[in-house]
Amino acid sequence: MKNTEELVAEASAWWDTSIIDVHPGKIAIRGYPVEQLIGRVRFPEMIWLMLRGELPAPAQADLLEAALVPGVDHGPHAPSIAISRMAVSCGLPVNGAMASAVNVLDDIHGGAGQQCMERYREIDAAAGASGDLVAAAEAVLARHRAAGEKIMPGFGHRFHPVDPRVAPLYALLRKAEAAGAIGGRFGRIGHAVEAALEKHKGRHIPMNIDGITAVVFCELGFEPELGRGLFVLSRSVGILAHAWEQKQRGRRIMGPMPPSIPYRYSGPPRRDLPPEVAARVTND
């Protein structure tokens, strides 16, 4: 039988965290008093401190911040943004709209970055320290094709023949590499994937926003699942902005299309009920 002190010690140890230490009038995050953090630490540095336990070097924070900027929004055709607006039009407050929208950022819509980071790391491991990156990319892509995964996440785009978000991030990566802040290997792996895709498909399939942010997050040493989480943080900004804008518009119950646009019906043609059902007495 445990005594009272032992029971209290056991209950206190129930939630064990190295992230935050809170006492009446005192808050420390990763050991740093919050009053020292406020006004000195930028939000991307705070994200890094929370996820990684230490403050980033300024060049690392710059890259993380840059990678969080372009993912915020891709317009109401992006389901996460449309869902946010539809939820508000159904009466949900911003928290409900944000939760509904974030909930769909799963493998298919919003998951390409994490999947791309996983493939880059596979290529990194397959090539070894001095191997040919294009050959390793070809081998990894072929292995996934054989498993039925024909599409390389992070490459190609329905709307953008060239994704305008890629070149500026590549430029920042090159600058960071020249300054010795990152190794640059994952940028080379990204190019190797483009070369391998071109060899296989006979056409250029350029990197998209998920492919380039995957390069940044791999260079910065984030785990792939955290890459997904970082994208969700970024997109949450757009989700909130659209929820708020929709709230100001005040229009109620907006479906995915105006009611004047018909959807396609592909069920059975109009028909009469079976006789035994038709014979049932109605309530009127």
Q: Which residues bind ligand COA (CB under 6 A)?
A: 112, 151-158, 197, 201, 205, 208-210
Query: Which residue, 52 or 144, is less far from ligand COA as judged by CB?
Result: 144
Distance of closest approach, residue 208 Cβ to ligand COA, in angstroms: 4
Query: Which residue, 101 or 112, is less far from ligand COA as judged by CB?
Result: 112
Distance of closest approach, residue 53 Cβ to ligand COA, in angstroms: 30
CA angle 250, 256, 257 (to 5 degrees): 90
Distance of closest approach, residue 13 Cβ to ligand COA, in angstroms: 43
Query: Which residue, 64 or 197, is less far from ligand COA as judged by CB?
Result: 197
Query: Which residue, 122 or 210, is less far from ligand COA as judged by CB?
Result: 210
Which segments of 147-265 does DSSP mark as H helices, in order? 166-178, 185-201, 209-219, 224-249
Which segments of the chain does DSSP mark as H helices, in order? 4-12, 34-37, 43-52, 58-68, 79-89, 94-103, 112-127, 133-146, 166-178, 185-201, 209-219, 224-249, 275-278
- Measured N-to-C along each axis, helices 224-249 and 58-68 cross at an angle, to the nearest 10 degrees, of 50
Distance of closest approach, residue 205 Cβ to ligand COA, in angstroms: 5
Query: Which residue, 48 or 155, is less far from ligand COA as judged by CB?
Result: 155
Distance of closest approach, residue 67 Cβ to ligand COA, in angstroms: 14
Radius of gyration, alpha carbons of the chain: 25
DSSP assignment, residue 77?
T
